[in-house]
C-alpha cells in the first residue's frame, strides 16, 4: 500500500523581529507540532523553508515553516510539495485571520485566499484552492489603527491566554486531520470551540 504523505505548513515571518506577532500564528502552531511529533524543523542549504518529517509506517507527516516571508509563502509551498509528491488535498495550511476573534479557530476543506497575502501567494504559485486550512483568529485592529502595524504587533496580556489555547486547538486539529481526515478535524474544531 502506498504511504500517504501529509504536508502541514504554518505561515509566518522568520526572525526575532516577528516572533510571537499575530501574523506568526502559523509558526506558533508549528512549534507545538514539533513537540507532538518529537522532531525539529531545520533549514537545508538553498531551500527557502525549514522542514521536519515523521512517519508511522502508513503515513508520512512533513512539517514546513516557509522562510520566504509571508507574502512569498507560495514559493516554498510549491517547491516542497513538488519535491515530495504532495497532492493538493494533502496539504494543510495554518495561518492567522483578522476576521475571527482572538482564540477562535476555523477548519475548512478549501476556499479562496481572502485578503491574506500568504494564502494569495500559495494559490498563485501552486494553482491550488481546494486544500485544507486552519485559520487562527487574531481579531481585527481597533478602528483607525494601521493593519500592518496590527498584524505585526504582539497580542496584549488579555489576548495571550486565548491565543495560546487556540494554538493548542489548531495543533490538535492538524493531528486529527492526518489521522482521520478533514471532516474529523472540522468536527474536533467545532467541539473545542463549543467548550
pTM comes to 0.96
Superfamily of domain 4-194: Peptidyl-tRNA hydrolase (3.40.50.1470)
d(CA 27, CA 14): 9
d(CA 44, CA 40): 12
For residue 57, the model assigns a pLDDT of: 86
Q: In what order do the strands lie in the sheet with 133-137?
A: 42-43, 49-55, 59-66, 4-10, 91-97, 133-137, 105-108
From the list 23, 40, 116, 130, the catalytic residue is 23
What is the DSSP code string of 133-176? EEEEE--PPPTT--HHHHHTSPPPTTTHHHHHHHHHHHHHHHHH
How would residue 194 be classed by pLDDT, with cut points 50, 70 and 90?
A: confident
Tell me the CA distances in angstroms from 75 to 29, 58, 82, 112, one per residue in order. 21, 28, 11, 18
Nearest to 136 by CA among 109, 111, 160, 101: 101
Segment 59-87 mean pLDDT: 97
The CA angle 102-75-72, to the nearest 5 degrees, is 50
How would residue 1 be classed by pLDDT, with cut points 50, 70 and 90?
A: low
All cell numbers assigned to 12:
509566518
Nearest to 86 by CA among 133, 128, 136: 128
Sequence ranges of the domains in the chain: 4-194
Note the pLDDT tens digit of each residue in 16-59.
999 999 999 999 999 999 999 999 999 988 999 999 999 998 99
d(CA 175, CA 63): 11
Does position 2 have pLDDT exceeding 80, yes or no? no
Q: Is 23 a catalytic residue?
A: yes
Percent helix, strand, coil in the chain, to 5, is 45, 20, 35
Check if the beta carbon of residue 105 is closer than 8 Å to that of residue 193.
yes
Amino acid at each position: 500500500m502506498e504511504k500517504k504523505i501529509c504536508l502541514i505548513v504554518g505561515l509566518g515571518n522568520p526572525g526575532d523581529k516577528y516572533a510571537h506577532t499575530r501574523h506568526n500564528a502559523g509558526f506558533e502552531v508549528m512549534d507545538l507540532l514539533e513537540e507532538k511529533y518529537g522532531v525539529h524543523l531545520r533549514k537545508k542549504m538553498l531551500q527557502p523553508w525549514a522542514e521536519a518529517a515523521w512517519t508511522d509506517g502508513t503515513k508520512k507527516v512533513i512539517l514546513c515553516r516557509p522562510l520566504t516571508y509571508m507574502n512569498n509563502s507560495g514559493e516554498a509551498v510549491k517547491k516542497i510539495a513538488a519535491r515530495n509528491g504532495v497532492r493538493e488535498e494533502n496539504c494543510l495550511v495554518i495561518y492567522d485571520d483578522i476576521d475571527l476573534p482572538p482564540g477562535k479557530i476555523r477548519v475548512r476543506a478549501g476556499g479562496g485566499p481572502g485578503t491574506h497575502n500568504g494564502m494569495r501567494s500559495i494559490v498563485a504559485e501552486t494553482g491550488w484552492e481546494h486544500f485544507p486550512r486552519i485559520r487562527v483568529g487574531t481579531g481585527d485592529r481597533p478602528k483607525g489603527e494601521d493593519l500592518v502595524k496590527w498584524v505585526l504587533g504582539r497580542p496584549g496580556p488579555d489576548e495571550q491566554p486565548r491565543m495560546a489555547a487556540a494554538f493548542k486547538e489548531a495543533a490538535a486539529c492538524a493531528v486529527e486531520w492526518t489521522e482521520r481526515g478533514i471532516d474529523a478535524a472540522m468536527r474536533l474544531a467545532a467541539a473545542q470551540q463549543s467548550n
